[in-house]
Structure 1
């Protein structure tokens, strides 16, 4: 009491009011601080100037995006036209040089195909379609080695040579890949910033350079498909559909449409300037008129016929994807055995008995000239030879280029105009169609496994068109077709029957391609190009039925490719029920020994760094200091930040037992403006959150590729982007 009285007397003598000990505590100081009407943000001129600067920076990014988008669309469409012009010219050259000489035709095609393989051999990134790589990049996998000038040149040359050799190769996927290569070659700095963008690292979410690059990659898909078919609407929907699930905004939507329209216009203008466009046919064309082969007194029955065709296409399309995966893996394994044996520097090998030293036979010198490999060239040569021979034996195929072949399959007068020119006498119309269908089925499987640039859309449309013809000729009896097409008791004419069969081919082409790619956009593309009003419902119903059936049989073509590259998580999120699994099923459970306590010693931080291989470390506050098996998630820290913390707090290593509070404000908001060491608001989800929702959250949030799983704030585990991408199906 005396002490209190003395203190009070002293305070009174100092002219100050009486203050209790509680008023002098840190809690009291904090309460007084929060009573002040102050803020960390001052709404002054500097604040609004910074807002204006950020807005202008965003406008500058979008301005560069639109300029780069238009230039890319023009150049990629021009490149697509040059490839078509080259294949058309080469086809005429082959026809003139090899008339009546099938052996010359075989040698001509084999030389072109082998040259295509030699062009692409040093650049493995140029092989295949290009769609899987684009999809992987949009899902967060940085693959900029696929977007170089070398890849662009190799892919363009090899694609031109492969298509000119008569192989059943499409150019839609390679066009998409080359469009992305063109964009990066024009403005490489625009792409390099994406690696440092938190938003762009995970897809099209957010804003800034990373988001703009993702939109640019998406627009490249639209312009590649739109220019190939001269169908900008179908190209846009095809791009958006194949890259789901993503987060899109109006700029991505209009960017895709702008790229598709500009690319289609550029291709059409260039095609018109070359001899009026009469030489280079569009990829899809037909002479069926509106109403021909579609008018019926039984519309529901006619729709059932198309749905059955679509279901058949879906079943066979799924089987075709499975067959391709098996054939491609088998041929790749066989090619991989062709490893050149190069002697080590300084090593010497004695010649075999009876062999002259330093001399090589013709085969040895030829093998050395070819880089010591022969299996890939033998495979390409064998496939090309077989394709040329089979095409010469089937007059309907007859070595026709793909636009001409599709136009022939969609021709309503195919069975009327000199059928003796294309029908095999001993097989008849039905047998000829069946043989052509089987030939294209197997040759497309082999050609797409030959390790050269190749698209899948056009070849599978040909297979589907032939399947539709077989369906109309074999499975539908003559009396049924007449009943379906008769009007007021008047039987249909032969031309109306031909139009009906051509429509079956059109529906089959759309449905089979939709089943292989799992893209409903193919129905829209076919309708957009052919402009047949009565075909909307048949195309849509058949394609939907095909997609539904194919989903039960196999993965889509492009996603099956990703599944073989340790990226099975992409098709798992896109096309399987694994996307609906709770995140707690795929999360990595976190033990408390792998976490960093809120208050810890530098020695413990070093121990956690050395004992685990994680790139992220959650910061937790244990619920019970004695039983530390649960903790509240308070923050997160990367491995690089933890190493910086050790160097900053103990540069000489003399104070390993020094304690630090990881939630200290100076670690989250350093006074010097440097990069924070601790993220105090980590992205978190509940255990019942689906895998797909967790992935989308990574895309739109600055999560650095990690999402923590908590229940009532208690840490359960974490999921990383790499974990989701590399899941097995």
Structure 2
């Protein structure tokens, strides 16, 4: 284990200090558990209302497509107004958590909590293709920092605890406690210092336990029993992983391209930009509701065994591949993880379908395994946290039968992305954070 990190402090490295840190992590973990559980509950209700609204709009006489366009535009604009009040609430928040841990940014204040919560419900709930995990991580970081400051801990320990409880936020968002811990260690701290491991584990365990009191205890996706692909298919999964790495590099560049170009549009207020993007996503929602939002419903239908025509899969993949980066460019509260998982699922189904078209045979059984592997491989290619991606997907699907091909494909995806010289998405977004206070963060 590493012996030092940006979060280390001699005053709290002893046994007594570790006990205090773990106690603070438990208290903060309970807070983010209930807050994150409530946030997820609100988004689930918003998803249901959004589907009902789209169905109602189709039954209207006249231009019913205006209804979801206006609804999503208003939701995105209101979320942008929240960001105008609290600029730090913009975007995922994970780049800011990483910057704070490195000592490159100020610790988040507790007033970030209502801004991220309300702005996230407005933006994500209205249909923007964003994930709940970014806001939940950022809210966890704000809670961790606030509780640590109340305990009068040192600055370095506060930064470590905001990181640990931020990881607990990811665990709460996906009901994946081990994945949340690994995210903190592999993606943010990039080290395994014992005190950080303990604080994150206590915060994640407490947070997920409390969140389950709100949203229940079940995996994110209900997946029927999946047979493990034979060893002979392993080379195919490696090829799939290499192709996924290339796709992940393209997706990262698309995200950054949309963010940069939308930000540089002159003389248009950020609220108006968000409203325009919301209107575009709203029109897409009218055409195909499953192409909008975080993507859980679409992913569940695929992992549940629903068969889709290859042309339909291509359509969904193209729409979500563009709608995710466009939604993120609106600079409202929302993350990248959940949309990444949906894209990875679709990509896995498309790859297996194309393979079956080129080499016809009894390959239908590969569709769901390839979709599950696609989730972890695409996540790892963009975020560059392979172990986190694998464990997250295993916990979210409660499936271990595809672990061997998942390891091979995920490693191949990361290798391809590294060979192409593409930096991890959060490193690129962190570099784009403005140095001056009061400006929008991505």
The two structures share one fold, judged by TM-score above 0.5: yes
* Corresponding residue of 2:316: 436
Shift of 1:561: 1.2
Alignment check: 8 A CA contact 2:69 2:281 kept: no
Cα separation, partners in 2 of 1:173 and 1:401, compared to 1, 3 Å: closer
1:685 corresponds to which residue? none
Q: Deviations over 1:177-205 (max 9, x none)?
A: 111111233343557731xxxxxxxxxxx
Question: In structure 2, the residue corresponding to 1:243 is in which secondary structure?
Answer: helix
Matches within 5 A, 1:700-719: none
Deviation at 1:105, TM superposition (A): 2.4
TM-score by length of 1: 0.54
Q: 1:56 to 1:120 in 2, by over 3 A?
A: closer
Residue deviations 1:365-405 (CA, integer Å, cap 9, x gap):
xxxxxxxxx5322322222222222233237x265663222
Aligned to 2:273: 379
User: Cα offset for 1:539?
Assistant: 1.1
Question: Which residue is equivalent to 2:6?
Answer: none
Q: Distance in 2 between matches of 1:331 and 1:400?
A: 20
CA distance in 2, matches of 1:119, 1:303: 48
User: What is the correspondence of 1:636-651 to structure 2 with a 5 Å cutoff?
Assistant: none
Indicate yes or no: 2:426 matched with 1:558: yes
Separation of aligned partners in 1, 2:382 and 2:186: 14
Find the aligned partners of 1:548 and 1:398 in 2 and give their Cα distance.
30
SS class of match (2:332): coil
Max Rg structure = 1
Change beyond 3 A, Cα 1:329–1:394: same
Structure 1 moving runs of 4+ over 6 Å: 54-57
- Tell me whether 1:388 sits opposite 2:282 in the alignment: yes
Residue 314 of structure 1, CA deviation: 0.6
2:239 is the alignment partner of 1:308: yes
Any unmatched runs of 5+ in structure 2?
A: 1-9, 436-442
Distance 1:323 1:524 in 2: 26
Maintained 8 Å contact 2:128/2:293: no
Q: 1:411 aligns with which of 291, 304, 321?
A: 304
**Richer in strand (by share):** 1
Counterpart in the other structure of 2:415:
548
Match of 2:186 among 235, 241, 255: 241
SS across alignment from 1:532: coil
Which residue of structure 2 aligns with residue 85 of structure 1?
41
- The residue aligned with 2:199 is 255
Measure the CA separation in 1 of the matches of 2:43 and 2:397: 24
When residues 476 and 244 of structure 1 are mapped into structure 2, their CA distance, relative to the original with a 3 A threshold, is: farther
Return closer, same or farther for 1:260/1:510 CA change in 2, 3 Å cut-off.
same
Deviations 1:205-232 (A, max 9, x none): xxxxx3x334313312320111111111
- C-alpha distance in structure 1 between counterparts of 2:123 and 2:196, whole Å: 33
1:331 to 262, 282, 290: 262
Contact residue 66 and residue 283 of structure 2 kept, 8 A: no
Q: When you count helix as a share of all residues, which structure comes out higher?
A: 2
1:548 Cα deviation after fit: 0.9
CA pair 332-186 structure 1, distance change in 2 beyond 3 A: same
- Which residue in the other structure is 2:4 paired with? none
**Paired residue for 1:525?**
392
Number of residues paired by the alignment? 417
Deviations along 1:583-642, one digit per CA (max 9) or x if unpaired, are: xxxxxxxxxxxxxxxxxxxxxxxxxxxxxxxxxxxxxxxxxxxxxxxxxxxxxxxxxxxx
Q: Quick check: 2:167–2:181 contact (8 Å CA) kept in 1?
A: yes
CA contact (8 A) 1:116 1:157 kept: yes
**Contiguous gaps of at least 5 residues in structure 1:** 1-53, 195-209, 339-373, 420-428, 486-496, 568-729
Look up the match of 2:352.
Answer: 472
Cα RMSD for the two superposed structures: 2.5
Inter-partner Cα distance in structure 2 for 1:243 and 1:80: 20
Question: Deviation string for 1:131-177 (max 9, x for gaps)?
Answer: 11121222222412xx1122221111101111111111112222121
CA contact (8 A) 2:284 2:292 kept: no
8 Å CA contact 1:392, 1:398 repeated in 2: no
Name the CA distance, whole Å, in 2 between partners of 1:565 and 1:434: 34
Which residue of structure 2 aligns with residue 506 of structure 1?
Answer: 372
Tell me whether 1:402 sits opposite 2:295 in the alignment: yes
Whether the 8 Å CA contact 1:383–1:443 is kept in 2: the answer is: no
Asked whether 1:228 is paired with 2:122, we answer no
| SS of corresponding position for 2:111 | helix
Does the CA contact (< 8 Å) of 2:244 and 2:413 recur in 1? Answer: yes
Residues 61 and 409 of structure 1: CA distance in aligned 2, closer, same or farther (over 3 Å): same
The SS at the match of 2:91 is coil
Give the corresponding residue for 1:112.
75
Partner of 1:153: 114
Matches of 2:377 and 2:12, distance apart in 1: 47
Q: What CA distance in whole angstroms lies between the structure 2 residues aligned with 1:257 and 1:186? A: 17
Among candidates 208, 212, 216, match of residue 264 of structure 1: 208
- Cα 1:97–1:435 change in 2 (3 A) is closer
Q: 1:463 to 1:295 in 2, by over 3 A?
A: closer
